[in-house]
């Protein structure tokens, strides 16, 4: 495992040349356009990085951008990898481990999610306080490599408190309403049933989605600090009065793009 991580890291270093940013941003469904806001120095398609899986979902383009956002050095995954695409879970962890090997310290995970709260509607932004992994999957299953991280990583502050405060203060400066809540991870790709949605709400979840938790677990294991931000694109099944579609996710992502972009441009320099 460690060799595969090092091979990917070496390949990124060779293709980029300069120092690797301390902050890495992962763009969720419909948020890939933030890549255009970055002053890009290097673009590396995932297919040119050994061991990186390629992204197959519409709205996810599949490249690593390295450059600056509002003057702050950042690497940006334009195109996320999901388990429902059929990638083995350890492949979802590999890019994160490679960034850590390159010296990254912070991972900012964004996603599109369904709301479980009637008063948190489409277009809302939610800081991820914590997650519930309801998938039965974990990227750390299998032999543990102590060179990467410990066998049993602590998850009590998985979404770093100081980063959550920085996100909240960036939103405050930009006059953007920000909710805060628990993100529940389900593998997908089918959306939830109304019965599942009722159960998840009773468990204490505020939003549901098909990403983020595997990356957060791999990042905490490897010693990265994690921040998470959900863009609420719809009310989850049973709360919404209509059927849920991926097109709706992409459309609300596009509508809320300006807000999320302003928030990130204020937040990223505060993290760097
Ligand atoms: N459920 C799961 N994932 C999602 C949803 C949803 O309702 N909306 C956007 N991503």
Atom 10 in ligand 1: residue holding the nearest Cα: 113
* CA angle at 104 for the pair 266 and 207, rounded to the nearest 5°: 60
Told to judge if 246 belongs to the known catalytic residues of this protein, a careful annotator would answer: yes
53 pLDDT tier (thresholds 50, 70, 90):
confident
Neighbours of 76 (CB within 10 A): 27
Query: Which of 8, 9, 16, 29 is the catalytic position?
Result: 29
**pLDDT tens for residues 106-131?**
999 999 999 999 999 999 999 999 99
What is the band of 103 on the pLDDT scale with cuts at 50, 70, 90?
A: very high
The contacts of residue 249 (CB under 8 Å, 6+ apart) are: 29, 30, 59, 112, 233, 234
State yes or no: cis peptide before 236, omega within 30 of 0. no
- Measuring from atom 6 of ligand 1, which residue has the nearest CA? 114
- Backbone φ and ψ for 234, nearest 5 degrees, come out as -165, 160
Q: Which of the residues 8, 55, 60, 235 is marked catalytic?
A: 60
Check if the beta carbon of residue 159 is closer than 8 Å to that of residue 128.
Answer: yes
DSSP string computed for 129-192: EEEEE-SS--TT-SS--TTT--SS---TTSB-HHHHHHHHHHHHHTT--EEEEEEEE---SSPP
- Is there a catalytic annotation at residue 210? yes
Query: Which residue, by CA, sits nearest to atom 9 of ligand 1?
Result: 113
pLDDT value of residue 55? 65
User: For ligand 1, what atom is nearest to the CA of residue 111?
Assistant: 10
For 102, the token pair is 């390159």
Report CA-CA distances (Å) from 270 to 43, 64, 264: 24, 22, 10
Beta strand 125-133 pairing with 178-185: parallel
**Average model confidence (pLDDT) across the chain:** 92
């Amino acid at each position: 495992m460690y060799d595969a991580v090092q091979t990917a890291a070496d390949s990124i270093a060779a293709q980029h040349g300069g120092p690797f940013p301390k902050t890495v941003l992962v763009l969720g469904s419909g948020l890939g356009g933030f890549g255009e806001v970055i002053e890009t120095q290097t673009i590396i398609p995932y297919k040119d990085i050994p061991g990186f899986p390629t992204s197959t979902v519409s709205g996810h383009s599949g490249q690593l951008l390295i450059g600056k956002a509002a003057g702050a050095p950042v690497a940006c995954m334009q195109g996320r990898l999901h388990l429902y695409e059929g990638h083995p879970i350890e492949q979802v962890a590999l890019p994160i481990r490679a960034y850590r090997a390159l010296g990254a310290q912070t991972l900012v995970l964004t996603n599109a999610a369904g709301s479980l709260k009637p008063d948190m509607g489409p277009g809302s932004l939610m800081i991820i306080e914590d997650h519930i992994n309801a998938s039965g999957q974990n990227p750390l299953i299998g032999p543990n490599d102590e060179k990467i991280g410990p066998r049993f990583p602590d998850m009590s502050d998985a979404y770093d408190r100081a980063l959550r405060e920085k996100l909240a203060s960036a939103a405050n400066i930009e006059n953007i309403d920000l909710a805060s809540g628990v993100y529940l991870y389900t593998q997908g790709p089918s959306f939830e049933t109304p019965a599942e949605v009722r159960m998840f709400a009773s468990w204490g979840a505020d939003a549901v989605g098909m990403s983020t938790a595997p990356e957060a677990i791999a990042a905490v294991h490897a010693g990265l600090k994690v921040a998470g931000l959900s863009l609420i694109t719809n009310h989850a099944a049973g709360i919404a009065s209509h059927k849920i579609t991926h097109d709706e996710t992409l459309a609300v992502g596009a509508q809320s793009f300006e807000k999320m972009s302003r928030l990130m441009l204020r937040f990223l320099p505060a993290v760097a």
